[in-house]
Chain A
Amino acid sequence: MSHFFAAISLILAGGVVSLVFARQHVFSRAAAAILISAGCAWGLVDTVIKLTGSVTHSAAFQYLNLFFLAFEMDGLSAFFLAVIFLVCLLAAVYSFHYMDDPGSSVKTAVTGFFFSLLVVSMAMVVTAANMITFMLSWEIMSLSSFFLVIHNYQHVENRKAGYLYFVFSHVGAMFLFAGFGVLYKYTGSFGFADVHTLPEAAKTLAFVLFFIGFGSKAGVFPFHVWLPHAHPAAPSHISAVMSGVMIKTGIYGILRIYALLEMPAPGFGYLVVAAGVVSGILGVVYALGQTDIKRLLAYSSVENIGIILIGMGIGMIGVSSRNPLMAVLGFSGAIFHVLNHAMFKSLLFMGAGMVVHQTGTRSMDSLGGLLKSMKITGFAFIIGSLAICGLPPFNGFAGEFFVYMGAFKGISLDKIPFAVSIAAIISLAVIGGLALACFTRVVGIVFQGEPRTDAARNQTETGATMLGAMGILAGACVIIGIFPGWFFNLILSAVSSLNLGYERIPAAPFAQIAGHITLGALVIVVLVLAVAVLRSWCYRAKPVSQSGTWGCGFTRPTTKMQYTGSSYAFDIIQFFRPAAPLEENHVPIAGRFPAGTRYESRVHDIAERYMEPGVVRPVQFVFDRLRWIQHGDIHLYIGYILLAIVLLLFFV
């Protein structure tokens, strides 16, 4: 573990140096970027080596008998750690040019510091080996990301997003505390070793509590409300880290608890698949309804968490129905998707960051035609979009393929597992189709066509570190998509530490599936190249000229006539009306010489819509009634403490 601690110390040093030299803007940024990325690279190499060796490593510290910090790195931890280090490495590189803002050097340095703290705390979360370490790291992670969300605190909506995130992450943490409380009551220790001895009812209660707690971090519907507010508010490399890896710590938590409980109840699988189906479909429907590019990407994270949950749920059903192949396929597909989503979502956020950085707007309907002037960003974004739609030969397909294979194994089962597997497969198919609609929309509206406003006209892409980070991620999406075999070995070593009760997972059947993906990917690559060669042969010595777009007879087209993002998504949103109410505000055209008119539309998130009357107001009502308890008189407060202690003495 010494390499691990050295790596996270180096990362933290990057943040501290950046803070100390806050006034030297360039030095501070460079120190943060170099030290954090160096630390991440160190950690990444170390974890991948450990992952291929798959040996459990652990370390423990004690401070005055009070603070017993314990860390353990098994296959599952190491895999998540590798994902965290990889994405944070590239995000740190990206941040160097992205955070170039000499006017607010202190703010930038503070953000650098909290970024390093976020990376370190995430690394600690996935290696924590007892409750204290876990909750400590979890809280540092939540708080540091809170400060990153309010980076642009001058804007009131960013502060609001920050508070919303703060409340959600702490209500989520409350559920985790409750869950840990249940564990502690039965095991009597802060360690995780004896968790599997709990009675069944307690296990079920603990799982549900943890699922809500971790689900709110992961962005599972309906606990995702904070996510589309907080992720766009943060700087783009932070959004990339938050969407790409931070929400995955919630997934890690669910997997870890599942492994610790060692209880193959079918109900867990049904619950997880149901949550995945709802998050997946609604996430992408809401993504389609967004006009803000970063909000869209945030909703798309909800969708991808849904896909991961479907995979996990299929795995759990596989375990409970004693179908090892289905179990391993489901879990490995889910874990694979964790890696893939980390790659393409951070790539997309970085691409969106470049667009926002250069044009100054996040509204898609003000953009257009950026591909002509931002070639690297544009094509990297297109690769990310193809990958997120799960299309071959990109990495998204590879992950979803495993989930599909697992889910189809469930079709041979009976009754409830059969029905749940059908739901999983059909919703994966629908999610795939909707994601395709959603991302052709982003690419088509933002990068293609003609600029809709001046903000999008003649923008160039700058910043070598930003372009480099995107290039590496785009390359990774292609390589993982074509050659998933090697990566899959790492995933299998993560799955094998899930305590599924299988002695040793044979690699051969999965290597075969990975080989099929490679074959399919190569077939399409070869055919595309062949057709491209054929095409250029057809075009040799042919007259090729340029002209305006055919306007179907209309000769004075303007850029305003282009299809907008809202109109593109309109029919699909209408189809999902009950779940995605569309609010339109339109002044009708009247008379022969109509006056100017306007049209506004907004897609509501039902979870957000019903949170106010359903949760916020009742809670507010109750606490308003209890306000008399808080009166500011310190004597009585001391009295409360005494009273509480006396009361507790009766119970403990």
Chain B
Amino acid sequence: MFESIVLWLGAVLTAPFFSAVILKVKAFFGGKKGPPLLINYYTLIKLVKKGSVYSTSTTAVFKMGPVISCATALAALLFLPIAGHIPVISFNGDVILVLYLLGLGRFFTIAAAMDTASPFEGMGAAREAFFPIICEAAMFMILIFFYRMTGELSFAAYFSGTGTLALWQIAGPSLLFIVIAFFIILVTETSRVPVDDPATHLELTMIHEVMVLDHSGPDFALIELGAFCKLFFYAAILSPLILPFETGIPGAGMLLFIAGLLIVYLVVGIIESTIARYRMDKVPQFVLTSFALAFFATIITLELIQ
């Protein structure tokens, strides 16, 4: 239990670091030196030191938005095994709870955006409400796959211990589909290229960034921290899937886990440097691909199980 809490705290504290890896990769592709790897900590500290300016249009919901979106991301990490260790909380069905918790965070992010009466934020909110619908369907399809393989509904059953290695041995080919499907979900849910461009300068083309335009100071710091944790959450699911090895050497599990994380962040960075964002009306098709892959993977397992 104590170990799990320490790992959870470690995850929360290192999440900003890993996000900076993406910036570094992008800088590399742009032929630049890029910001230091600790840039996100500097940004968070800077924001926490500041005060805030609130729009006259806003209500208390605007202030609840950052708190709840950050809290839900933190809560999601509580249920996730980190480096194969048992998570802080785990029960049968916790996966469903976590998916709905992220939904709760999204509800308040959208509500906070709608609170400002800004047409840009409304536009971002409409997109934020739309794309995750397909993501959720794909997510549940992946969940069906995992349930079919393990008969369990908890992250601990999938990702702790040697869970993922066993999965590769039973259903390797379809797990490959799942990894790709899940990566598409990661990109969509965490507002990354080619769904959303966190670095763009035109508000009309943003999704997540435009929704938080009016947040400032510590409120914005909470949003940023929440976003780092959310990205970490998805990357931490992918990490044991792409490096499912069991060495038996103490400490090696943690190193493998970190290596997996770095690979995920690197790939995100590479994609972000080499691909342009899709046109908004092409995004649903991109996300549906993820659903289709997960669906095929599940259908393939029908044969494997029997």
Contacts and interface: CB of A to CB of B under 8 A. Distances in A.
Interface in B72-106: 72, 74-75, 78, 89, 91-94, 96-97, 99-101, 103-104, 106
28 contacts: A369-B57, A378-B59, A386-B104, A392-B97, A411-B144, A411-B148, A428-B140, A430-B137, A433-B134, A433-B135, A436-B103, A436-B133, A440-B107, A440-B125, A444-B114, A444-B115, A449-B115, A449-B122, A520-B94, A524-B75, A524-B101, A527-B72, A528-B68, A542-B50, A545-B53, A548-B55, A568-B122, A568-B126
Interface string A376-412: 0010001001100111100001000100110010011
Interface stretch (B210-218, B231-239, B248-256, B262-270): B210-218
Nearest to B306: A414
A391 B103 contact: yes
A523 B98 CA distance: 11
Nearest to B116: A549
Contacts of A561: 119
B132 interface: yes
A433 B222 contact: no
Interface in A537-553: 538-539, 542-552
Contact of B93 (A368, A418, A516): A516
A-B complex: 8 closest residue pairs judged by Cβ atoms = A563-B122, A444-B114, A433-B133, A538-B218, A543-B51, A437-B129, A449-B117, A542-B51
B111 A448 contact: yes
Interface stretch (A222-230, A569-577, A585-593): A569-577
A444 B111 contact: yes
Contact of B89 (A372, A397, A519, A559): A519
B78 A523 contact: yes
B222 A535 contact: yes
A519 B107 contact: no
Interface string B108-132: 0011011111111111011101101
Contact of B126 (A434, A449, A548, A570): A570
Contacts of A505: none
Contacts, number: 246
Nearest to B141: A426
A568 B89 contact: no
Contact of A440 (B100, B110, B221, B302): B110
B243 to A, nearest CB: 28
A61 B113 CA distance: 61
B109 to A, nearest CB: 9
Interface of A: 368-369, 371-372, 378, 382, 385-386, 389-392, 397, 401, 404-405, 408, 411-412, 418, 422, 425-426, 428-430, 432-434, 436-437, 439-441, 443-445, 448-450, 513, 516-517, 519-520, 523-524, 527-528, 530-532, 535, 538-539, 542-552, 557, 559, 561-563, 567-572, 575
B37 interface: no
B153 interface: yes
Contacts of A562: 117-119, 122
Nearest to A439: B107
Interface residues of B, number: 82
A441 B110 CA distance: 9
Nearest to A391: B104
B129 A513 contact: no
Q: Which of A389, A440, A546 has the most CB of B within 10 A?
A: A440
A371 to B, nearest CB: 5
Contacts of A378: 59
Contacts of B241: none
A549 B59 contact: no
B166 interface: no
A528 B97 CA distance: 16
B133 A520 contact: no
Nearest to A569: B126
A523 B89 contact: yes
Given A436-B107, A440-B107, A550-B214, A429 B51 contact: no
Given A408-B147, A548-B55, A549-B117, A437 B133 contact: yes
A528 B65 CA distance: 11
Contact of B136 (A430, A548, A568): A430
Interface of B: 48, 50-59, 61, 63, 66-68, 70-72, 74-75, 78, 89, 91-94, 96-97, 99-101, 103-104, 106-107, 110-111, 113-123, 125-127, 129-130, 132-137, 139-141, 143-144, 147-148, 151, 153, 203, 213-214, 217-219, 221-222, 280-281, 284, 298, 302
Nearest to A411: B147
Given A528-B71, A545-B51, A546-B54, A559 B107 contact: no
Q: Which of B56, B97, B100, B144 has the most CB of A within 10 A?
A: B100
Contacts of B139: 429
B107 A391 contact: yes
Contacts of A411: 144, 147-148
Given A434-B133, A528-B71, A567-B123, 11 more contacts: A392-B97, A437-B129, A444-B125, A531-B222, A538-B217, A547-B55, A549-B117, A551-B118, A562-B117, A562-B119, A575-B130
A600 B291 CA distance: 34
Q: Which of B48, B57, B78, B213 has the most CB of A within 10 A?
A: B57
A439 B103 CA distance: 12
Contacts of B133: 430, 433-434, 436-437, 572
A531 B114 CA distance: 22
Contacts of A401: 93, 96-97
B126 A524 contact: no
Contacts of B91: 516, 519
Given A391-B100, A433-B133, A552 B213 contact: yes
Q: Which of A386, A441, A532, A538 has the most CB of B within 10 A?
A: A538
Given A429-B140, A523-B89, A527-B71, A448 B94 contact: no
A385 B106 CA distance: 13
A63 to B, nearest CB: 52
Nearest to B291: A426
A574 to B, nearest CB: 8
A538 B60 CA distance: 17
B218 A449 contact: no
Given A449-B57, A516-B92, A516-B93, A432 B100 contact: yes
A432 B110 CA distance: 15
A443 B111 contact: yes
A539 B93 CA distance: 37
